Structure 1
Amino acid sequence: MTDAQTARGKTVNTVLGPVPADDLGVVSVHEALLSVVPGAEHAYDITIDRAEIFEILAQKLTDFRHHGGRTIVDSTGMFHGRDVRLYEALSRSTGVHIVASTGMGPEEMLGGYFLTPQTNPPTPWPAERFADLFTKEVTEGMVVPRVERRAAAGLVTTTATRGGMTPTDESLFRGAARTALNTGVAVSIRYGKDALHDLDVVLDEQLPADRVVVGGLDRKDAVAAGVPLEVARRGAFVALDHVGLDDDDAHLTDRERASLVLDLVKAGHGNRILLSSNALGVAKGQPDYDLPFSYVASTFVPFVRSLGLSDEEARRILVDNPRELLTLR
């Protein structure tokens, strides 16, 4: 039995090992420390200087801690720049707990190895193969190219194709759910076209709803259809994870997000709300998104409090809810 399994229900997996769940403090549950579009590291016009990246991220994490942040979740999964050694050094240097994730998706972001196994005709990987891959990253440690394993993943995350879940996406979602059942970590899903359908795929694997967070629920299409309230009613966590993005036609403004937070609290679902910014600490191969990791705690939550959110509910959203999600079970 692994350390993570024996500590289930008491601790959270971080890049420096399991920590007591009560030590997490204020958590940002969906950010990207280092986001590298696959292949960008080989581009002639992109420089990846790890020392420079370290300095930039150390400053941002120090600012996060200065504004009351204690734990940050890197939700990029396996192949979008995750650098476990770098995250270990950053955590030691800044004192911020870093929870890294396993998982991948959507299909369009997967390499051919996962899409065209040697069968005739080629078929997507079955869910059990994804489950085995992700489970080992929790129980044996996350892979550091090429063969080394280091700290255990603290979350399994996956994303569906924006136009609608594909068969490969479904295998990913089912594999993620089985990983959660095998290891005690939670699942973070980002829906494609239909959030309730995508949530149902995970719940069909008999994973309890309170082990699932549905991301991107501050998208206008989800809000217009009443999805955040329905996800909360089903017992899953509602992630409003583009806080600070105020000029995007696909997402709510912060004022609209604040109203949604208050509506969910009024409906009795304050214990299902999670907030983050989907900020990119350092981006390579895609545009920078230079929003502070501290924005939710330092700017957005005080704004919602000015509109009527109580101190108790603010603490529930920033501290208690993410602790419940991330604690191993």
Structure 2
Amino acid sequence: MSKVNTVLGAIPAEELGVVAVHEHIGYGMPGSELDTKWWASPEERYAETVPKLRKFHEYGGGTFVDVTGICNGRDVDYYKSLSAKTGVHIVACTGFVGGDTALPFFARASVEYLAEHFVHEITEGIGRTGSRAGVIKVGVSRGGRMTELDKRIYRAAARAALTTGVPILTHLAIDAENAIAIFNEEGLPLDRVLFGHADDGVNAEKTRDTWIAKQGGRVGFDTFGYETELEDPPFWARPRKERLDHFLRFILTEGFLGQALASADANCSPLGWPGVKGHTVNYIFEDLIPDLRAAGVDEATIRTLFVENPADFLTIRN
């Protein structure tokens, strides 16, 4: 039987429902806990996050994949409480958002150590929480090219994915040639990798989304809602119509529906920074799905994007 690791235990993939595949309960850079201006208390974070997850559940959302890596504010006991309170399945990750977010202990580690650590968090549990990671996060450090540390992390992730059967999700789809070379060297099928942020406003023009798909990889359009039309848009924002047209072209005109996944990459309660006002995971239901319907996308296609593709991706294969 197919299964997926959630923070409250493994469940059949068929029970995931509508999946937000690239999101954050609370993300911050290492050291953000020392910030004195934007840091919220646990009570404030809880009060800010619960209504968003409850609304997600009311809209029909089933599963929230938190891809906040090691060193970036990952708090699995907190996720367990949120999941029990709201009824939303939460999938936690192992791995790193990028090598430049790995604290020195991990930055100095070997490929073998990193792979062993990822495997432990997937098969035994994260710390003393008893919860097992359901996806491995990797990423490209600032600068747009993989560093040597990034490459070690990607290689370790590939080995852990092969050992455990869980998939890999990347932060940015840039420098995909190096990433795919590593995955190929390690013998990891590319349908076990979701190359994320193919649609963000900084890197979209440099991201070879169709090439990645032709190699067999999955492609994430997962910064929906970060729009230049916002009152105070972030630097990675993009015009709403331009992003939607890009997505429609990829899934319909270019024919890569089976390899596409979508999400909002929203932060329920940002750590150490103010966040983007008004942007939540519920953009998926409040704006994105209505935009898809208005563009003539049928319900079967919407189900493929938000139910079938993520269930297939997240299913443990071993």
TM-score for both structures, normalised by structure 2: 0.91
Give SS of 2:19's match.
strand
- Distance in 2 separating the partners of 1:259 and 1:159: 26
The equivalent residue for 1:91 is 83
Distance 1:299 1:63, change over 3 A: same
Q: How many pairs align?
A: 309
Question: How far apart, in 2, do the equivalents of 1:39 and 1:226 lie?
Answer: 30
Secondary structure (helix, strand or coil) at the match of 1:287 reads coil
Q: 2:33 maps to which residue?
A: 41
How far 1:283 sits from its partner (Å)?
Answer: 1.0
Q: Which residue of 1 aligns with 2:138?
A: 158
The one-letter amino acid of 1:141's match is: G
The equivalences for 1:6-25 within 5 A come to 10-25=2-17
Aligned counterpart for 1:139 among listed residues 118, 123, 136: 123
Aligned to 1:162, what secondary structure does the other structure show?
A: coil
Q: If each structure's strand is expressed as a fraction of its own residues, which one has the higher value?
A: 1
Choose 296-305 or 209-218, whichever is displaced more: 296-305
Between the aligned residues of both structures, percent identity stands at 34
Give 1:271 shift: 0.9
**Partner residue in 1 for 2:73:** 81
Structure 1 moving runs of 4+ over 6 Å: none
The structural deviation recorded for 1:198 is: 2.3
Q: Could you tell me which residue of structure 2 aligns to residue 3 of structure 1?
A: none
Q: Which aligned pairs between 1:1-329 and structure 2 lie closer than 5 A?
A: 10-45=2-37, 47-116=39-108, 125-143=109-127, 148-163=128-143, 164-191=145-172, 193-220=174-201, 223-225=204-206, 227-247=208-228, 250-266=236-252, 267-290=254-277, 291-329=279-317
Q: Distance in 2 between matches of 1:46 and 1:262?
A: 37
2:241 corresponds to which letter in structure 1? Answer: R
- Report if the CA contact (8 A) 2:48-2:269 is conserved: yes
Letter in 2 for 1:157: K
Q: Assess if the C-alpha contact under 8 Å between 2:198 and 2:207 holds in 1.
A: no
Q: TM-score, normalised by structure 1?
A: 0.88
1:18-69 deviations in whole A, cap 9, x for unaligned? Answer: 0111011110011110123322223444544222222221111001111221
Question: Could you tell me how far apart the structure 1 residues matched to 2:218 and 2:77 are?
Answer: 30
Which deviates more, 273-282 or 213-222? 213-222
Cα distance, 1:249–1:41 mapped onto 2, change above 3 Å: closer
1:204 shift after superposition: 2.5
Measured after TM superposition, the shift of residue 305 of structure 1 is: 1.9
Residue type at the aligned position of 1:142: I
Q: How far apart, CA to CA, are the structure 1 residues paired with 2:237 and 2:188?
A: 29
Tell me the amino acid that sits aligned with residue 67 of structure 2.
Answer: S
Change (3 A) 1:271 1:92: same
The 2-side partners of 1:150 and 1:226 are apart by 37
Distance, in Å, in 2 between the alignment partners of 1:90 and 1:159 is 26
5+ residue gaps, structure 2: 229-233
Mapped contact 2:37–2:272 kept (Cα < 8 A): no
2:84 counterpart SS class:
helix
- For the 8 Å contact 2:173–2:198, the answer to whether it is kept is no
2:231 is matched with none
Structure 1 regions of 5+ residues with no counterpart? 1-8, 117-124
Are the equivalent residues in 1 in contact too, given 2:168–2:194 (CA < 8 A)?
Answer: yes
Contact 1:165 1:192 in 2 (8 A): no
For the structure 1 residues 225 and 167, does the alpha-carbon distance in structure 2 shift closer, same or farther, using more than 3 Å as the test?
Answer: closer
Mapped partners of 2:207, 2:223: distance in 1: 18
Deviation at 1:193, TM superposition (A): 4.6
2:51 and 2:59 mapped to 1: Cα distance? 12
Asked whether the 8 Å contact 2:72–2:101 carries over to 1, the reply is: no
Q: State the AA in 2 paired with 1:260.
A: H
| Residues 296-324 of structure 1: per-residue CA shift (max 9 Å, x gap) | 13311221221121211111001111111
After TM superposition, the structure 1 stretch with the greater mean CA deviation from structure 2, 249-258 or 22-31, is 249-258
What's the Cα RMSD here?
Answer: 1.9
How much has 1:203 moved relative to structure 2?
3.1
